[in-house]
Amino acid sequence: MDPLIPLRLPVTGLHGPVYEQLFALYLGIGIVAALLVFSLMAYLIHRYRAAGPSDVDPPDAPRAGAAPIERGDCRVPLVLALLVTLVLFSVSLGTFDTIALYHDEPNDPDALRIDVVAYRYGFSYTYPDGSVVVDNLTVPVDRTVVLKITSTDVFHNFAVPELRLKADAIPGHTTMLWFKGDSPGTHRIQCMELCGTDHGAMVGSLRILSAPEYDQWVARGG
Amino acid sequence: MQRSARVLGVSLLCTVVLLVSLAPLMSGFSGGIGGQRVANGCTCHGEGGADPSVSPLLLGVPQTYEAGMSYNLTVQIQGGPVPGGEHQGGFNLDASDGALLTRDDTTQRQEGQLTHTTAGNGQRTWQVAWMAPKEEDHIVTFRLLVNSVDGDFAPSSTDSWNRATFTSRGPGAGGIPQPQGGTHTPLLQRWFPLPLVVVLSLVLAVLIVLLLLPPAAVRGPLGRFLLHWLTTTNHKDIGVLYFVTSLLMYLVGGALAMVMRGQLAGPSGDLVSPQLYNQLVTMHGAIMALFFLSPLGFAFANYLVPLQIGARDLAFPRINALSYWLYLLGALVAASGFFVGGAADVGWTFYAPLTNATYSPGLGVDLAGIGLFLLFLSVTISTINFLVTILRLRAPTMGLWQVPMFTWSVLMTVLIMLIIFPALGGALLLLVSDRHFGTHFFDSALNGALLWDHLFWFFGHPEVYVLLLPSLGTTAEILQAFSRRPLYGRRYIMGAMVVGVVLSVIVWGHHMFTTGIDQRFLEVQVVLTESISIPFAVIVLCYILTLHGGKLRLRTPALWALGSLALFTIGGITGVFLASQALDTHLRGSYYVVAHFHYTLVGSTTFALIGGIYYWFPKMSGRMLSERLGRWHFGISFLSFNLNFLPLFELTDMPRRIATYDVARWVPYNQVATVGAIIFGVAQLLLIVNLLQSMRRGAPAGKDPWRGPSLEWTLSSPPPHDPSEQPPVVVAAPATQAVTTGSSSDPAVGTAKG
Ligand SMILES: [Cu+2]
Ligand SMILES: [Cu+2]
C-alpha cells in the first residue's frame, strides 16, 4: 500500500488537540475496562469449565420448573454500580470542559463572522462585506472565525473532520460553530447527514491562508 | 355467532388492506399551486420526468423579508449533465408575491415570471432581483424550474430538469402559512401501485374464500395447511410464524447489506446508483431493526412466555394472530417500494423535511410510513397482550419476581414499547398528513425539522433497548443452563433492567447533540445518557459472575451467549464515547457510529438471539441442531463480524450513508470491512442449512436436552399443541434454604392437580 496515505486522521486547529486529549482519556479508560471484563470472563470460563459431559453439577444447579434460586452477595452489584458511576463521572468532568470550549461563542470583536447556508448539495458562505462564495470557505490563520449555519432545504450537517468540528445545518434554525486555524492548509468539509441523492458528493474545502495571502484573496474579490 | 364474527373480521381486514394499498395513489392527486403554467424549465426543449440529480438553487432568499426591500438573488443549477459548449441551461422563476426583476441581459420577464434569454443560454448561474411586497404579513413562495443542458443542444439530447420551491415570510406573517407548491407526480407513476393492488387483492380473495368456507369444506393437504396457518391463534403457531418470517427478513436485510458492502469495497463502486444505495441503506436499517430483530425476540416471546409462566396461551390469542398479520403486512408494504418506483431513500430515521412531498415525491416514503404504521398497530396490541399475560396469567404460585429471566425481559420490553410506539405512530400520521393533506407539522419555517427529531428519537433511542432486552433475557437463560448455576444477583439484574427501562425513555436528546438546541437540555442528556450504562454494566458483570463456581459446558448456545456478552462490552464502551457531547461533535454521523451500533445490535443482540435459536429450537421442533455446524457458524461469525466492524471505528471522518467516496485513507478500512461482511453473510447460511437439516434428520431432543432452568423444559418437545391437562406449576423453594444450604433436595415440581 502507498506509504503516503495516512492511516490516522490528521488533527489541527484550536479544538483538534483538545478533542484528541479527551478521546485518549476515554479510550484509555475504555480499553482498561474492556480488558478487565475480558480477563474476568476468560478466567471464569477457563477455571469453571466442566471436565466432561459426566462432570457432577453444583448442588444448586438449575432444574426445569424449580423456583429460581437467589444467589450472590448483594454488595457486589452495588459496588459495581458505584465503581462504574465514579469512572463515568470522572471522565464527564473532562467532557464538560470540552463542551464549554465548543459551545461558548467567543467574545472576540476581531472575529470573522460568516453565514453558512447549506443546500442540496453544497454550502454557500456569506462574508461580512456581503460577498458570497460557494463550496470553498477561505479564512485567515490565527483569527477567530464564527460560523452561523442554516439550511435552505433539508437537514444537512457541516463538518470539518480534521479540525474536529461539526454542527447540523437545519432549515428554519441556526447553529453556531467557531474555530481558529493554527496553520495554513486545506481541509475537507463535508455534509454528514443524509440529504438526498448526492449527499456523498456534498463536499467542499476549508482553506486557511496566512494573513497576507488572505488579504490578497479579499482584494481579488474573493 | 362465531361465523358472523369471522365475517366481520374478514371484512375489516379487507378494508384495511384495500385502504393501505390504495393510500399511495393519493400522492398522485396533489392540490398545490404553481407548476401548472410552465411544463418544464425551458420551453425550448421537450418534456420528460424530473431529474433528481439536478438541483435548482436560489441563493439570497431572506428567511424573513423586509417590506418593500429589494433583494439580489442568484439562480444556480447544480448537477445534471457535464456543462460545456454554448447551451448549458435555462430556468424559470416565479414568485407568488412581490416583483421579480432582471439585472442584466441574460434574463427576461415573461408574464411576471423570469426566465433566461438567448444570451443567457450559455451559463448556469444568473443574477436577478426581487422586490419584496409592501405588506408585512405575506408568505412568498418562489417556484424555480431549471433545465441542465449537456452543451451540444442536439435535438436528441434529453432534458434534465427539476424544480424546487423556496419561501420567504414577512415579519408579520403568523398563523398557518399558505400551502407551498404541491408535488407533481408523473401520471405513469400514479398507477404504478396497480400491480401491488392486484397482488394484494388476489391474496385477499384467497383469504376470503378460505375463511368464509366452512372448515370442513377445505380439502387436500395444501388447503388444510393453508387454513391451519392462516387461521391459527395458538401462541406456539404464531411464534413459529414470527420465527420463520423474521429469519426471512434476516436474509433479505442481510442481502441488502451485502450489496452495500460490495458497493463500498472501492472508492467509486458502481454496483448501484446513489439513489438505489440510499434505498438500500434505509430498508436495511428498517428491516433489520424493526422487521427482523424485534420480531425474532417476539417469536421466542410468543412461543415461550406462556410456557415459562404456566399459562395455556396468551391472554388474547386472536389479538395475537392479528398482531402477527399486521406485522407481516407492514413488512410487505414497507418493502414493496422497491417494486413501485423506489423504496424510501431517506434513511430509517426519516428526517424532516427530506421526507416531505417536495423532496421525496415518490411512493417509497409513503409505503415505508404505512408499513411502519402497521407495525405500530401490531406492536401496540401485542404489548397489551403480553402485559396482561405476564401480569395476570402466571401459575398460582409464581410471584412476579420469580418469573424466568426471559419472561422478565419481555415484560420490560413491552413496557418500553407501550411508552414509545405512540410517538412513532403519531409522528407517522403527522408526516402522512403533511405529505398528502397540506398540513405543516414538519414545516421548516415552524422548526419542523427539530420537532421530527424529538418525536422520532423519543421512539428511536428506547427502540434500541426494545431490541436489546429480549436478547439479554435469552442470554440469562442460556448462561444458567450451561454454567449449571443460578444467575448471580438475579434480583439486582431484574432491578437494573427496570432502571434501564426508565432511563431509556429520557435520554433521546443524545441524538441531537449537534442541533444547537438549548444547551442546558443537552447537558442533562449527557449525564442521563452516561448513567444508562450503569445498570447495563451491572447486568453484564452479574452475568459473567454467574459462571463462578459452575460447571460450564461450552455447547453452541453458550458460545453465542458468551460471544454476545463480549461484543456487548465493546458496543457499550464505545457508546459511552458517544454519550459525551464533546466527542459526539466529531463522531456523529460517521462510521464510528455505524460500528458502535452494529456491535450492540448485531454483536450483542443478534448473537444472543441466534444463541436463543440454538437453545430453543430443540424445544420447538423436538429435534437437536448439529453441534458441529453450530460451532462453525459461531466461530466464523464471531471472527468475520469483528473483521467487518472493528476497522470502521477508525473512520470517524467518513459519513454514513454515502455510496461513493474519494478519500484514499478510507479505502483499506472499507476493503477489510467488505471482506468481513461477505464472510459473515455467507456464514449465516450455515444456520439455515442447520435448521433444515435438523428438521429432516436431527436427533430427538427429549424433554430437557440442556437441563434448562425454567418451566418450558418440563414439557415434551415440541410441547403439546393444545395443553389438555392443567399446566405445571412452580412450587417456590424457600429462598434462604436454596441459597445457603445448596442441598441436593429438589425444589419441588408438581402440577396444580398433584
Ligand atoms: Cu448531505
Ligand atoms: Cu440513542
Which of B403, B580, B654 is most worth mutating to test chain A (most A CB atoms within 10 A of its CB)? B580
Q: What mean pLDDT do residues A52-71 have?
A: 86
CB B318 within 8 A of CB B345: no
Residue where a domain stops, chosen among B702, B721, B748: B702
Decide if domain A112-219 falls under CATH 2.60.40.420.
yes
Single-letter amino acid code for the residue at B66: E
Residue numbers of A between 166 and 185 with CB closer than 8 Å to B: 166-168, 170-176
- CATH assignment of the domain containing B104: 2.60.40.2410
Ligand 2 centre from B571 Cα, in Å? 12
Cα A202 to chain centroid distance, Å, stands at: 19
pLDDT at B326: 93
Q: Taking Cα atoms as reference points, which of A214, A12, A181, A203 lies closest to residue B655?
A: A203
How large is the ipTM?
0.95
pTM, two decimal places: 0.80
Q: At B601, is the secondary structure helix, strand, or coil? A: helix
CB B256 within 8 A of CB B202: no
Buried b (16+ CB within 10 A) or exposed e, B337-360: bbebbbbbbbbbbbbbbbbbbbbb
Question: Residue B582 is placed in which grid cell?
Answer: 464533546
CB of A35 within 8 Å of a chain B CB? The answer is no
List pLDDT tens digits, range A25-48: 999 999 999 999 999 999 999 999
Q: What mean pLDDT do residues A173-187 have?
A: 94
List pLDDT tens digits, range B432-490: 889 888 888 998 888 899 999 999 999 999 999 999 999 999 999 999 999 999 999 99
pLDDT at B178: 36
Q: What is the mean pLDDT of chain B?
A: 84
* Residue B314 domain flag: no
CB B109 within 8 A of CB B130: no
CB B579 within 8 A of CB A183: no
List pLDDT tens digits, range B310-346: 898 999 999 999 999 999 999 988 888 887 778 899 9
Who has greater pLDDT, B565 or B271? B565
Whether the pLDDT of residue B737 is over 80: the answer is: no
Cα A56 to chain centroid distance, Å, stands at: 52
Q: What string of DSSP letters covers B390-433?
A: HHH-S-TT--GGGS-HHHHHHHHHHHHHHHHHHHHHHHHHHHHH
Q: What mean pLDDT do residues B150-155 have?
A: 54
Domain extent, residue B64, equals: 55-183
Q: Which among B487, B549, B586 has CB closest to A164?
A: B586
Q: What string of DSSP letters covers B348-367?
A: TTT-TTTTSTTT--SSHHHH
Q: Calculate how close chain A gets to B292, using CA atoms only, in Å.
A: 24
Query: How far lies B451's CA from each of B179, B410, B427, B581, in Å?
Result: 19, 30, 9, 20
* Residue B544 domain flag: no
Whether the pLDDT of residue B63 is over 50: the answer is: yes
Whether the pLDDT of residue A217 is over 70: the answer is: yes
Q: Calculate how close chain B gets to A203, using CA atoms only, in Å.
A: 10
Question: Residue B600 is placed in which grid cell?
Answer: 450492540
Question: What is the spatial distance between Cα B539 and Cα B541, in angstroms, rounded to a whole number?
Answer: 6
Q: What mean pLDDT do residues B159-166 have?
A: 77
Interchain contact, A66 vs B544, CB within 8 Å: no
Q: What is the count of structural domains for chain B?
A: 2
List pLDDT tens digits, range B610-649: 999 999 999 999 999 999 999 999 999 999 999 999 999 9
Interchain contact, A60 vs B351, CB within 8 Å: no
pLDDT at B92: 86
Percentage of chain A modeled with pLDDT above 90: 64
Question: What is the spatial distance between Cα A176 and Cα A148, in angstroms, rounded to a whole number?
Answer: 5
Query: With the C-alpha atoms ordered B657, B659, B661, B667, is the resulting torsion angle positive or negative?
Result: positive
Residue A125 DSSP symbol: E
Question: What is the spatial distance between Cα B73 and Cα A137, in angstroms, rounded to a whole number?
Answer: 20
Contacts with B491 from chain A: Cβ below 8 Å: 70
Interchain contact, A50 vs B749, CB within 8 Å: no
* Residue B359 domain flag: no
Interchain contact, A196 vs B514, CB within 8 Å: no
* Residue B603 domain flag: yes
Q: Which of A178-192, B45-59, B462-476 has the lowest mean pLDDT?
A: B45-59
Q: Taking Cα atoms as reference points, which of B708, B471, B427 lies closest to residue B599?
A: B471
Q: How many CB pairs under 8 A join A and B?
A: 374
* Residue B151 domain flag: yes
Residue where a domain stops, chosen among B183, B202, B231: B183
Domain assignments of chain A as residue spans, ordered by start: 1-47+73-104, 112-219
Phi, psi of A87 (to 5 degrees): -60, -45
pLDDT at B85: 57
Whether the pLDDT of residue B354 is over 80: the answer is: yes
Ligand nearest to the CA of B578: 2
Residue where a domain stops, chosen among B134, B161, B183: B183
Interchain contact, B487 vs A71, CB within 8 Å: yes
- At residue B349 the predicted structure's pLDDT band, cuts being 50, 70 and 90, is very high
List pLDDT tens digits, range A140-160: 999 999 999 999 889 999 999
- At residue B84 the predicted structure's pLDDT band, cuts being 50, 70 and 90, is low
Q: What mean pLDDT do residues B159-185 have?
A: 60
Q: What mean pLDDT do residues B602-617 have?
A: 96
Q: From A60, which residue of chain B is nearest by alpha-carbon distance?
A: B742
Q: Classify the phi-psi angles of A68: left when phi > 0, otherwise alpha if psi is within -120 to 50, otherwise beta.
A: beta
pLDDT at B82: 58
Single-letter amino acid code for the residue at B108: Q
- At residue B193 the predicted structure's pLDDT band, cuts being 50, 70 and 90, is low
CB of A22 within 8 Å of a chain B CB? The answer is yes
CB of A54 within 8 Å of a chain B CB? The answer is no
Q: Which among A22, A26, A41 has CB closest to B544?
A: A41
CB A105 within 8 A of CB A176: yes
Ligand 1 centre from A113 Cα, in Å? 23
Residues 6+ apart with CB under 8 A from B74: A132, B57, B58, B59, B60, B125, B126, B127, B128
- At residue B748 the predicted structure's pLDDT band, cuts being 50, 70 and 90, is very low
Question: What is the spatial distance between Cα A186 and Cα B248, in angstroms, rounded to a whole number?
Answer: 48
